[in-house]
Amino acid sequence: MTFDRRVLLAAGLALPLAATTPSLGKPAWTRPAAVAPDASIALWPDGHLAIPAGLTESTVQRSDDPNASDRMLQGITRPRLDIFRPASPNGAAVILAPGGGYRYVVIDKEGYELARWLRERGVTVYVLFYRLPGDGWAGRADIPLADAQRAVRLVRDRARLDGIDPARVAFGGFSAGGHVATSLLTRFDAQLDAPIDAADALSARPDALAAIYPVVSMDPAIAHAVSREKLLGPAPDTASEALHSPERQARPDMPPLFLLHAEDDQVVKVENSLRLHAAAGAIGAPCEAHYFAEGGHGFGLMKTAGLPVAIWPDLYWNWLTARKIV
């Protein structure tokens, strides 16, 4: 069943991740950069990737507030999964692909913060740092998807080690990471690389998939221009635009989909989610969508205080529960 639901709530969700400063009425971020994963694993074996000449990985801190960490990783040379392990695993796994306009991958607000929130609820979380298509990699347009496929396969391959159920693996993406996610939604079985080990024999289809204020379409009329240029280059042909526009690749066997978008998003137009929602509905693919009047872009968990959109983590959790992931 397909759901079209506008959420207009009067009160936000009180999360331990954000507080309100009474004198200013603004959200006060409370998570410093000291937050760290429990482990980190490379997606690909040493020597497998041909790293572009001169590419150097670096972390940039964009915030000067010690209580408001907002780091980004750029020039990614070692695509990887950072693992957050709960004290009492419930068997569920969630892979997160943060955004960054395909120029970088943000670390905190769309990665480690939600990872912590889910870990506290028993979920084993894997934050995906995928290769960036504008960094000189061969086959630029498909490398984020190749990393996403590999991530799902590796998580399933590690199921016994990490205490998760390989049939309860969800994927979520934000902004440009939402394009990584929705590309996986519709092209999870695309043949992009020759198999290299036993993990590659496993399915790359997630059991559920969420896209939060996602970049979806490569249609110039609604596309996020920076993401489009980084992914496809300055002058893509119509075939490339179509292949890399997930709303044009919808299929009945794609995973159940959760969509979340603010209508006042001035960075990634809400039409990206609306088109994918309509495409799913047209073929009867399961999709639950939530649209909020306010929220802008890039709110994650920590920029929602005082807004109705603050309730989105509960909506997401309830959806994961209904999908029998958690």
Name every residue whose Cβ is closer than 8 Å to that of residue 18 and which is 6 or more positions away in sequence.
Answer: 27, 28, 29, 30, 301, 302, 303, 304, 305, 310
Q: How far apart are CA 307 and CA 260, in angstroms?
A: 14
Across 59-63, 149-153, 268-272, least confident range? 59-63
Average pLDDT over residues 171-196: 97
Terminus-to-terminus CA distance in the chain, angstroms?
20
Contact present, 79 and 90 (Cβ < 8 Å): no
Average pLDDT over residues 73-83: 98
Q: How confident is the model at residue 185 (pLDDT cuts 50, 70, 90)?
A: very high
Q: How confident is the model at residue 164 (pLDDT cuts 50, 70, 90)?
A: very high
Name every residue whose Cβ is closer than 8 Å to that of residue 270 and which is 6 or more positions away in sequence.
Answer: 261, 262, 263, 291
Q: Does 21 score more than 80 pLDDT?
A: no
Q: How confident is the model at residue 305 (pLDDT cuts 50, 70, 90)?
A: confident
Counting every residue, how long is the chain? Answer: 326
Q: Does 46 score more than 50 pLDDT?
A: yes
Instruction: Give the pairing of strands 93-97 and 124-129.
Output: parallel
Q: How much is the pLDDT for 69?
A: 87
Domains in the chain, CATH or no CATH each:
2-322 (3.40.50.1820)
Proportion of the chain above pLDDT 90, given as a percent: 84
Q: How much is the pLDDT for 313?
A: 97
Q: How far apart are CA 47 and CA 37, in angstroms?
A: 24
Q: How far apart are CA 164 and CA 206, in angstroms?
A: 14
Q: How confident is the model at residue 15 (pLDDT cuts 50, 70, 90)?
A: very low
Is the full-model pTM beyond 0.95? no
